[in-house]
Structure 1
Amino acid sequence: MADAEQPQVPLATTTDQQRPSWRLIGPGIVVAATGVGAGDLVATLLAGSRFGYTLLWAAVVGCLVKISLAEATGRWHLSTGRTIFEGWRSLGRWTTWYFAPYIVIWGFVYGATAMTSTALPLNALFPQISVTVWGILAGVAGLAFVWLNRYGVFEKAMTALVGLMFVTVVLLAFLVAPNVPSILLGLVPTLPDGSFLYTLGLIGGVGGTITMAAYGYWVNAKGWRDATWIRMMRWDNRVAYIMTGIFVVAMLIVGAELLHNANIALRDGDRGLLDLGAVLAERFNPFISVLFLVGFFAASFSSVLGVWHGVSLLFADYVAHLRKRTLTVDERERSTPFRAYLLWLTFPPMVLLFLERPFQLALVYTALGAFFMPFLALTLLWLLNSKRTPPQWRNRWVSNTGLGIAAALFIIVCVNELAGIVQDVF
């Protein structure tokens, strides 16, 4: 498609936009909750346990980066009337060549990861049932819920899970009695020795996955279909990621006060959260540990539901455009490709629940995944500064700065991931 082609959608002025309303907030909560999983909790905990409050500023910067990315995705959908995949297709067929293997391999490995993460707290609460069985049950439960319900019910369930994990973690932060002067000092950017990778993880990892590209689809599913909803979308996005910022800061406080000061080390990976549960039981009482495990489950299962729904929407749109068809928002949720990808996320990955992740598959998954966030940031910069976007909704300097920082950050993360792969191979 030529760059000069103008989108055939009505333009909205600044005076006829939908006013922000608390009761309409939803898609932002969904995308933020989906992006914040158990792995992000562990990364934040480990950063707090090893560096105290020193990297608090990185968590704040990370939330600002995610606000820029999600806002750009939502603005593209609403200002042009086209999906993000349509935007990618307009940039050339090379986007399809990248996206096809990525979404297939990513879904296979992520399905097993998400099911295992959800199974860990359930196994800790009910050890009579193995992690493998709990993982299978979690995957099937996610499949059944997304298959049988539409966006409205899905959003309510996600909001409930977000509320549960938010209250749990913020309560823990209050219980460990945060050091306010140290928190304020942590807002000053510094990089202690050995903290570079943790800083990248806090800025680039928390709340940032392929599901950020699904935000525009959830915005449309909410009923926001044109530029009159951009003001509301921005409000929704900011509120959601401010909540995410509070959540991340609370988790870092727990790591700093409970682990760093006591010189307690956690295991890497999701099982480190089980170690924290044991520490909480010893420091406070078993009830607090159980409460934390419930929050751990909420964070993990919200990612299951969010990925099962959001990435399936992306896949349905991808297949529709390969077939030169256009699906409405409602048709995507009922389409065969949507349900086929749901099945792909659920059943084939169960094989990995019984086996260690194959080394070669892990390398391909890591390599493809490392490229996605730079791909998203750079293509949004391209699309929203071109004639594909109506003039009044193109990027201004604030958006370009935010997306430029995001692109640079994710390129650094990508290079670091690829360097790790080279080391593993050779």
Structure 2
Amino acid sequence: MQTSTRDSGAASVGRVRSYLSNMGPSWVAGAIAAGPATMGSLITGGGAFDYALFWVVVLSAVAGAFAQYLAMRLGVLTERGIVGVVADRLGDTWAWLLVLDVVVAAGVAQLLIMKTVASVSATVTGVDSRVWGVVWAVVLAAGLATRGYRFLETVAKLLVSVVVVAFVASLFVVPIDASAAVGGLVPSLPSGSALVAAGILGGAVHITLITMHSYTMRARGWTADDYDLATFDVVASMLVAFGIYSVAIYLVTASVLTSGDLSTVEAAQALGPFAGRFAEWLFLFGLLGAAVSTLGGNTIVPPFLLADKLGWGTTVEDDRYRGLLVAAALLSAPGAFIGGPVLSQLALVLAIGTVGTPFAIAVVLYLLNSPAVPESNSAVANLAGLALLVVSGALAANFVREQVAAGLGPLSGAILVFAVVLGLATVGVFGKYVRREGAFA
């Protein structure tokens, strides 16, 4: 019996080691989630609202992991890209709507992420940010077109780990108000916090992360036989690594900063207790690392979905897909020419992405409860998925309401139209589900 227990323990340790060495796809999603937009939202939230939004931070890690778990289930159980499954089960119109949703959300984010990369590069080197925008776009196009997904995955894991360590180190030397932090776990939305709250949640539960997962797993060749490895991958990257990243940044900034209207220099003060007079530089390099990994990960998402819808391959072996990658990379260069403060714009980008996320969640839930999947969702998973849909929808609605209340302009008007179209589409998905179930009743 003792030998059997020892053998079982050794087998478990061996399995964990194997999982650790083979995990990867969810880390690309984690690299996007742990990017400068999320960092900007966390810093703004901590500086402007102290610990009041801590509950959103914790919720974002749990919700992000669960959203990736649902996306993982769909990918490994169908062994196909999400767009192809949507086209088969819902029709071409719905598939194109999903592609459009992703292209808009990821495209807007791409421009602001490039602006971040170029701005930080300019601060570090003294070279004009517009020059850096062109340089990074060319480097990105060349890297993705020649080396492909596995290179991106390796860079993502490395950069996420470095950024996490930097902020965790600060967490140990910053005086955290434990009682205030615990109080921040009670849900509340202070006046003016809807944008920031939507940005924080949007960093983890985002349409690009949900839709890309089936394609990154296909790039690794994962099938239903890799279900346990894929689950471990999600937990390690989104729940553990991203969760620690989010909590550490938020607690540090809520303890140190006193303003949510931050410049890069002011945000660097979050690392002051750890890095002393080098705080600004450490923050800048951390922000640059997060931005570069996010830029690469975000670039591949629209080409994945568009190539799938057009019936093309989704690897660099297909020249048409490679062309989409190059185009997406080069089209990010104009982001370096956008004016205005970086961090506040990043929070807006994530909030816009949050508007498109409920539709993606509804589509995934529909497909997971359809004949497309040989093993349907459990009742608990469905209820948790619906709760995720309600929470993300409520934060998105709050954000849209706040934008409209501030006065309709070109941007707020576009956000309102985007929200209405996708809101109706989300209702339509549930209507199709009810009709389908009624037909089989």
Question: Shorter-chain TM-score: what band?
Answer: 0.7 to 0.9
Is the Cα contact below 8 Å between 1:108 and 1:344 reproduced in 2? no
Q: Give the counterpart of 2:234 among 233, 237, 246.
A: 237
Match of 1:98 in 2: 97
Match of 1:384 in 2: 368
Structure 2: gaps (5+ residues): 1-13, 341-348, 414-441
Match of 1:309 in 2: 300
Match of 1:361 in 2: none
Match of 1:162 in 2: 160
2:229 & 2:350 partners in 1: Cα distance?
A: 35
**1:350 and 2:333 aligned:** yes
Q: Which amino acid aligns with 2:320?
A: P
2:190 & 2:336 partners in 1: Cα distance?
A: 38
Q: Give the counterpart of 1:57 among 55, 58, 69.
A: 55
Larger helix proportion of the pair: 2
Match of 2:381 in 1: 399
Evaluate the alpha carbon distance shift between residue 222 and residue 192 of structure 1 in structure 2; reply closer, same or farther with a 3 A threshold: same
Evaluate the alpha carbon distance shift between residue 368 and residue 57 of structure 1 in structure 2; reply closer, same or farther with a 3 A threshold: closer
Does the residue aligned with 1:115 lie in a helix, a strand or coil? helix
> 1:149: how far off?
0.9
TM-score (normalised: structure 2): 0.78
Match of 1:341 in 2: 324
Match of 1:3 in 2: none
- Spell out, residue by residue over 1:332-365, the C-alpha distance to the aligned partner (whole angstroms, 9 max, x if none): 23223322222322323434533569xxxxxxx9
> 1:115: how far off?
1.1
> 1:298: how far off?
0.9
Q: Which amino acid aligns with 2:120?
A: P
Q: Give the counterpart of 1:32 among 9, 30, 33.
A: 30
> 1:244: how far off?
0.6
Match of 1:12 in 2: none
> 1:92: how far off?
1.5
Match of 1:177 in 2: 175
2:42 & 2:225 partners in 1: Cα distance?
A: 37
Match of 1:297 in 2: 288
Q: Give the counterpart of 1:373 among 353, 357, 361.
A: 357
Match of 1:409 in 2: 391
Is the Cα contact below 8 Å between 1:308 and 1:342 reproduced in 2? yes
Evaluate the alpha carbon distance shift between residue 103 and residue 28 of structure 1 in structure 2; reply closer, same or farther with a 3 A threshold: closer
1:32 & 1:164 partners in 2: Cα distance?
A: 13
> 1:368: how far off?
8.1
Is the Cα contact below 8 Å between 1:123 and 1:130 reproduced in 2? yes
Is the Cα contact below 8 Å between 1:46 and 1:266 reproduced in 2? yes
Is the Cα contact below 8 Å between 1:169 and 1:295 reproduced in 2? no
- Spell out, residue by residue over 1:301-325, the C-alpha distance to the aligned partner (whole angstroms, 9 max, x if none): 11111112343222221221xxxx6
1:367 & 1:56 partners in 2: Cα distance?
A: 17
Match of 1:266 in 2: 261
Does the residue aligned with 1:423 lie in a helix, a strand or coil? coil
Is the Cα contact below 8 Å between 1:316 and 1:335 reproduced in 2? no
Q: Which aligned pairs between 1:211-290 and structure 2 lie closer than 5 A?
A: 211-225=209-223, 227-241=224-238, 242-259=240-257, 263-267=258-262, 272-277=263-268, 285-290=276-281
Is the Cα contact below 8 Å between 1:115 and 1:136 reproduced in 2? no
Does the residue aligned with 1:113 lie in a helix, a strand or coil? helix
Evaluate the alpha carbon distance shift between residue 333 and residue 310 of structure 1 in structure 2; reply closer, same or farther with a 3 A threshold: farther
- Spell out, residue by residue over 1:231-280, the C-alpha distance to the aligned partner (whole angstroms, 9 max, x if none): 11111101111211110111111211111xxx34433xxxx334312675
- Spell out, residue by residue over 1:44-63, the C-alpha distance to the aligned partner (whole angstroms, 9 max, x if none): 11111122222212111111
1:383 & 1:45 partners in 2: Cα distance?
A: 36
Paired-residue identity, %: 23
Is the Cα contact below 8 Å between 1:19 and 1:232 reproduced in 2? no
Does the residue aligned with 2:172 lie in a helix, a strand or coil? helix
Is the Cα contact below 8 Å between 1:36 and 1:207 reproduced in 2? no
Q: Give the counterpart of 1:83 among 81, 84, 99.
A: 81
Q: Which amino acid aligns with 1:143?
A: A
Give the aligned length. Answer: 383
Is the Cα contact below 8 Å between 2:315 and 2:321 reproduced in 1? yes
Evaluate the alpha carbon distance shift between residue 353 and residue 257 of structure 1 in structure 2; reply closer, same or farther with a 3 A threshold: same
**1:41 and 2:57 aligned:** no
Evaluate the alpha carbon distance shift between residue 280 and residue 53 of structure 1 in structure 2; reply closer, same or farther with a 3 A threshold: same
Q: Which amino acid aligns with 1:266?
A: D
Structure 1: gaps (5+ residues): 1-17, 358-364
- Spell out, residue by residue over 1:120-174, the C-alpha distance to the aligned partner (whole angstroms, 9 max, x if none): 2222222x20111122222222222111113333211111111111111212222
Is the Cα contact below 8 Å between 1:319 and 1:337 reproduced in 2? no
1:73 & 1:240 partners in 2: Cα distance?
A: 14
Match of 2:203 in 1: 205
Is the Cα contact below 8 Å between 2:77 and 2:373 reproduced in 1? yes
Does the residue aligned with 2:134 lie in a helix, a strand or coil? helix
Q: Which amino acid aligns with 2:408?
A: Q
1:248 & 1:355 partners in 2: Cα distance?
A: 27
Of the structure 1 ranges 39-48 and 342-351, higher mean CA displacement relative to structure 2 is found in 342-351
Evaluate the alpha carbon distance shift between residue 264 and residue 388 of structure 1 in structure 2; reply closer, same or farther with a 3 A threshold: closer
Q: Which aligned pairs between 1:185-200 and structure 2 lie closer than 5 A?
A: 185-200=183-198
TM-score (normalised: structure 1): 0.81
> 1:405: how far off?
1.9
Is the Cα contact below 8 Å between 1:312 and 1:342 reproduced in 2? yes
